[in-house]
Amino acid sequence: MTMPKDGKGVSPSPLMREHWQHIDKRSLDACRSAEWETLSQQKNDYLAARCADEVLRMLKIQADDPSFGYSVNMYQHCLQTATMMYRDNLPEEDIVVGLFHDIGYMVCPDAHGSFAALLLRPYISDRNHWMLEHHEVFQQVHFHEMDDIDPDEREQWRGHPYFDWTAEFIAKYDQLAINIDEEILPLEEFEPLVRRVFAKGHEAPTA
Ligand SMILES: [Fe+2]
Ligand SMILES: [Fe+2]
């Protein structure tokens, strides 16, 4: 990597709105209330406008990924999960959670439930946050003849208010969504739902 000879960095990144402004400070130490106010106003609008699309893009780039063995890849697994939930008329938030529940699997396989829980935290209920965080352990009850896996590990949470929902998500959707013969709706079908659920997690954009 070569640095520009004049010692300057890259050109300023374009702003999302025409009337916005770049702050001209070169360090956080140099920023004062005027800069924080500008950044805060623009950031709220920026995140409200872009978060849903950014998360959708994270899923979309996995569309043509190879599989490590299942006849559907992780992208299709996510879509099939959401498709089954959509067909069962589940609430929009549940369907969106199903759509993104394994979005981090390929980069964070051993903690992908926590990955999705953190990613979706601003937009979802405690019930779905808990479900995402624990779904990996709950799935173990469906892992038969795997010597190093305890299928009953989930029993430590028996009686928890979200135990039944997590068990239901796994049994009725997640563990079944590896079926190449079942319908998989395209991602575009879910995009309006995603935008509506994400819109609830942001304040109204600042003008
Ligand atoms: Fe998972
Ligand atoms: Fe899954």
User: The domain spanning residue 169 has which CATH number?
Assistant: 1.10.3210.10
Q: Quote the pLDDT of residue 207.
A: 40
Assigned domain for 76 exists? yes
51 assigned to some structural domain: no
Global pTM reads: 0.91
pLDDT at residue 204, as a whole number: 45
At 201 the pLDDT is: 80
The Å distance, Cα 44 to ligand 2 centre, comes to: 32
Instruction: Quote the pLDDT of residue 205.
Output: 44
Which residues constitute the domain of residue 147? 57-199
- Ligand 2 ion: nearby residues, β-carbon < 5 Å: 102, 174
Distance 195 CA to ligand 1 centre (A): 23
Reported as a pLDDT band with limits 50, 70 and 90, residue 40 is very high
Q: Is the pLDDT of residue 101 over 90?
A: yes
Evaluate whether residue 99 is within a structural domain: yes
42, pLDDT greater than 90: yes
Residue 116 Cα to ligand 2 midpoint, Å, equals 11
Q: How many domains does the chain have?
A: 1
User: What confidence category does residue 144 fall into, taking pLDDT thresholds of 50, 70 and 90?
Assistant: very high
Residue 115, in any domain of the structure = yes
**Is there a domain that residue 108 lies in?**
yes
> Do 59 and 191 touch, CB atoms closer than 8 A?
no
Residue 176, pLDDT > 60, answer yes
Q: Is pLDDT of 202 > 70?
A: no
CA dihedral (37, 42, 48, 53) positive or negative: negative
Q: Is the dihedral of CA 79, 72, 165, 114 positive or negative?
A: negative
Instruction: Tell me, yes or no, whether 148 lies in a domain.
Output: yes
Task: Please compute, for residue 95, the number of CA atoms within 13 A of its CA located in the half-sphere on the CB side.
Answer: 23
Helix (H) or strand (E) holding 40: helix 33-60
Whether 95 contacts 109, CB under 8 Å: no
- How many of the other CB atoms lie within 10 Å of CB of 20? 13
Taking a C-beta distance cutoff of 8 angstroms, is the pair 167, 155 a contact? Answer: no
Average pLDDT score over residue span 58-68: 97
175 C-alpha vs ligand 2 centroid, how far in Å? Answer: 7
Q: Does 86 fall in a domain?
A: yes
In a domain, 89, yes or no: yes
